[in-house]
Amino acid sequence: MQWSAKRIARSPLWLLFPIGVIYGTLAVMPLALIVRFSFAGGLKQYRAVLASPLLARIAENTVVVSIITTVVAVLLGYLLAAALWRSGPRLRVLLFMLVLLPFWTGVLVKNFAWAALLQDNGVFNELWLVISPTHKALPLLHNRLAVIIGMVHYVLPYAVFPIYTVMLSIDQRLERAAKSLGASDFSVVSRVIVPLTLPGVYAAGLLVFIISTGFFITPVILGGPADMMIANLVDFYAHQLVDFNRAAALAVLIVVVVSVLVFIYQWCPKEGQYGKA
């Protein structure tokens, strides 16, 4: 193909110029720099990162917390999506607002609120002290549970929307057909609706998992020292150890893993898996 100057000027592809400049300088260059730093001294940095017992512990923590978050968020998200799907138009607008407001609230605001709720003289503990015989506050903050509570709260809207989209694509006649064939309400749900929404559940789970693995702020504010996640480790290498080569190597590893997950997500059918039959 001939890319003469005239041809480019006539085709609106020149409109890609601004985004090209921005991405070229502010995305490609930084990522290239990371790769360059990571290969300082050959594979030495990677070896050091992978051999570190810190990585193994933090990676395990990241995966476990992300999986729990994903499972809880998808279960609750399914419930919310079903409620949205089954409510009348007015109630649906209200419920949408209820889902969207936390979505728009910043992660800092939400985490601050959870910290205020879960701390020793927070709402839950003050209520607990009223009924508790021992008058000792429960350790709710700075542990894994607090991190999961905060993370599920953040990712829940991301779990609701893919499932809700799939529910909307279900032909309402299928339900009637099932009933006419003798299915009870329970059978309609278990044999027709749940199987048909599974693609949405998978998509939501993968999306939530990808988001969960990238958490940085929540483990710091709501978690304790042992609740560090993988993103915090990059920060730890860069700011505490001031070892940018090692931070870069870890960053490259993260990008590789996330790319694989994103690739799977792209291939995961999101709606109409079975076509319109």
Partner 1 sequence: MARREACESGRTPLSSPASYRGLRVSGRCLLLLACIPVFIYLMLPTLIIVPMALTKGQIIQFPPIWISVHAFADYFKDSQWIDSTIISFKVSILAVCIACVAGSSAAIALHGKTFFGKGAVVGIILTPMVIPLVVLGLGDYLFFTYVQLGERWLEIGLAYSVLVTPYVFITVQAALAGLNPLLARSARSLGAGSASVLYHVHWPTIRPGIAAGAIFAFAVCFDEVVIALFLQSPDATTLPVRMFTSIQYELTPKIAAVASLLLSLASLALLAQAFLPRQRLSPR
Partner 2 sequence: MVMDIVIPGLDDSANREAGKRLAGRHLDVRGVWKAYSANQYVVRDVTFTLKPGELLTLLGPSGSGKTTSLMMVAGFELPDRGEIRVDGKNVAWQPPQRRNFGVVFQGYALFPHMSVLENVAFPLRMRRFSSSERRRKSLDMLEKVGLAEFRDRRPADLSGGQQQRVALARALVFEPDALLLDEPLGALDRNLREALQLEIKELQRRIGISILFVTHDQDEAMMMSDSIAVMNEGRIAQIGSPRDVYLHPRSPFVAGFLGETNLLRCTDCEFDGSSARLRFHNGTVGHAQAPQEGYRRQSPHALVSVRPERIRFLTTEETIENVIDGIIVDCTFLGNRSRYVVHALGQKLIVSSTDPTLSQHACTGDSVRLGWARDDAQVLSETDN
Site residues for partner 1, window 176-205 (CB under 8 A)?
A: 185
Q: In what helix (H) or strand (E) does residue 101 lie, and over which residues does it extend?
A: helix 89-104
Applying CB under 8 A, which of residues 192, 257, 261, 262 lies at the interface with partner 2? Answer: 192
Report the C-alpha gap between 164 and 192 in whole angstroms.
16
Q: Which is nearer to partner 2, 50 or 183 (CB)?
A: 183
88 alpha carbon, distance to own chain's centre: 29
CB of 191 to partner 2, least distance (A): 8
User: How many chain residues bind partner 1 (CB under 8 A)?
Assistant: 78
Applying CB under 8 A, which of residues 140, 151, 156, 201 lies at the interface with partner 1? Answer: 156
Rounded to 5, what percent of the chain is helix, strand, coil? 80, 0, 20
143 alpha carbon, distance to own chain's centre: 20
132: which 2 tokens? 């508790």
34: which 2 tokens? 């990371």
Amino acid occupying residue 43: L
Rule CB under 8 A: say whether 178 interacts with partner 2: yes
Amino acid occupying residue 52: S
Q: Is 223 helix (H, G, I), strand (E, B) or coil?
A: coil
Report the C-alpha gap between 154 and 106 in whole angstroms.
9
CB of 185 to partner 2, least distance (A): 8
Q: Which is nearer to partner 1, 43 or 98 (CB)?
A: 98
Q: Which is nearer to partner 1, 90 or 274 (CB)?
A: 90
The sign of the torsion formed by the CA atoms of 33, 37, 40, 43 equals negative
36-44, 67-75, 90-98, 190-198 -> range binding partner 2 (CB under 8 A): 190-198
- Interface mask toward partner 1 for 76-105; x: CB under 8 A: x--xx-xx--xx-------x-xxxxxx-xx
274 DSSP assignment: T
40-48, 117-125, 194-202, 269-277 -> range binding partner 1 (CB under 8 A): 117-125
User: How many chain residues bind partner 2 (CB under 8 A)?
Assistant: 21
- Which residues in 43-82 contact partner 2 (CB under 8 A)? none
Question: Which residues contribute to the site for partner 2 (CB under 8 A)?
Answer: 171, 173-174, 176-184, 187, 191-192, 195-196, 274-277
